[in-house]
Structure 1
Amino acid sequence: MAQRIKLATVAAMAFALAATACTTNPQTGQQEMSKTAMYGLGAAATCGIVGAMTHGGKGARNAALGCGAVGAGVGAYMDYQEKLLREKLAGSQVQVNRNGDQINLVMPENITFALNSAELRPNVRTSLDDVSKVLAQYTDTSITVSGHTDSTGTQQLNQALSERRASSVGGYLQGHGVAGARIRTVGFGPNQPVASNTSAEGRAKNRRVEINITPKT
């Protein structure tokens, strides 16, 4: 009975990987699974069975995740993380963006920090808890936390504030299960605006912290 449960765990993991590995054929409009994804599912099933026999259901899940990432490739590994992050951060105002094999999370100032402060607001901690859980589970990534400000005030003050804010977010991730060796924090001050600083709306968009998640090479 226990063995059947373990094998069912492996099958469920393979199904989850398959759900994120499908692509749409531009000519037929039909959903298809790539060859690399199929190879990855085979690896996930094999390693998951080994994990189930040696460490139970949790071992099956973790082994399938790890071997599936190797077999299916970086894209599928990042796909599943993106899916989890979008689900967990839905309605949080944290933007989840995808650029190739990189995932970028954008946290606006209004939900993250008070004006001129680097102390995290209580409400954003829930979102960071969810981010930490995903990042702690998927360890084959490097994380860069960057702080950004608008152009109001002096360059020196903005630079220091952006560095402190990046450190606050990076420190929170590290304190909630993400290995510090994976995390780099950097402040850019007002030097990387995403909107014009001539309007209040533009300045609000520029005041942000970004978490960039990149697969290890």
Structure 2
Amino acid sequence: MLDDASMGADGGMEPSVPVWAVFGDLMAGLLGAFALILMCALGIQFELAAKLEAEVKQRQAEAQRLEALEKALAGPLAAGRVTLNNGRIGISGSVLFALGSDELQPDGRQLLQSLAAPLAAYLNGRDEILMVSGFTDDRQVRGDSRRFADNWELSAQRALTVTRALIEEGMPSSSVFAAAFGSEQPVASNADAQGRSKNRRVEMAPTPRPSRGNAAAHE
């Protein structure tokens, strides 16, 4: 006899679905899901590989850039007249200027004369420009003349003095610019004389040259 499950509403026979057909549909769905997951995983893997390759190339280019800069400044570096840290060329403020002054001392001008040619040669053919930055300690500007309103103005004038000296020594004016930081970004504590002496400094750093598009956007 036929059981009730095999009878339709009208008393007729309902065709039963084979088990293998249900199993096939289930496997097809699972395979589709697996293929989708695999494609997502491969896409993420390719993306990570591309990012890693780009990062490696960037690090190699940065290492080559620093090596070229170190080679260009081999003489002054060997003499201990400048420092080079992560592409930033440091010069003690006491070498360049007297305390509270923006006028170059003879030793300072001589040092800039020795730096102008190798720096210009380094920048030649590169899409970079030299940023000359002036820094001071946190002591307020003193003196009877009060020539400078504050440390910002003093650091700006010192950066401009160094920039003009480099241009006078042959560096193209289009390859160098000045920036001022006042007492911001100290490299040592201002609590003692030694630390304040380290903070009174001028730094020079090659930076990417602004593109014409970016320059026009800021006009």
- Judge conservation of contact 1:193–1:206 (CA < 8 Å) in 2: yes
Contact 2:73 2:118 survives alignment (8 Å): yes
Q: TM-score normalized by structure 2?
A: 0.59
CA RMSD of aligned residues (A): 2.2
Question: What secondary structure is seen at the aligned counterpart in 1 of 2:106?
Answer: coil
* Residue 183 (structure 2) aligns with: 190
* TM-score between both structures, scaled by the size of structure 1: 0.59
Secondary structure, in 3 states, of the residue corresponding to 2:88? Answer: strand
For 1:110, the equivalent position in structure 2 comes to 94
Q: Percent identity?
A: 37
CA displacement at 1:153 relative to structure 2: 0.7
- After superposition, where does 1:1-217 map in structure 2 within 5 Å? 75-97=63-85, 99=86, 103-138=87-122, 139=124, 140=126, 141-153=128-140, 156-216=149-209
CA distance in 2, matches of 1:114, 1:128: 16
The letter of the residue matching 1:125 is: R
1:59-109 CA distance string (max 9 Å, x none):
xxxxxxxxxxxxx95643542231230333322432122x2xxx2111111
Measured after TM superposition, the shift of residue 174 of structure 1 is 1.1
CA deviation string 1:29-85 (max 9, x = no partner):
xxxxxxxxxxxxxxxxxxxxxxxxxxxxxxxxxxxxxxxxxxx95643542231230
Q: Over alpha carbons, which structure has the higher Rg?
A: 2
Structure 2 gap segments, 5+ residues each: 1-59, 142-147, 211-219
Offset of 1:190 from its aligned partner?
0.6
The one-letter code sitting in structure 1 at the alignment partner of 2:205 is N
Q: Is residue 92–residue 202 contact of structure 2 (8 Å, CA) maintained in 1? A: yes
Tell me how far apart the structure 2 counterparts of residues 73 and 205 of structure 1 sit (CA, whole Å). Answer: 30
The corresponding residue for 1:63 is: none
- SS state at 1:125 partner: helix
Structure number having the greater strand percentage: 1
Cα shift at 1:122: 0.6
| AA matched with 1:93 | R
Q: Contact 1:111–1:123 (CA<8 Å) still a contact in 2?
A: yes
Closer/same/farther in 2, CA of residues 136 and 162 from structure 1, 3 Å limit: same
Give the Cα separation in 2 of the matches to 1:77 and 1:196.
31
Q: Is the 8 A contact 2:76 2:82 kept in 1?
A: no
**TM-fit CA distance, 1:150:** 0.6
- Alpha-carbon separation, structure 2, partners of 1:87 and 1:93: 9
Number of residue pairs the alignment of both structures matches: 142
Name the aligned partner's letter for residue 91 of structure 1. A
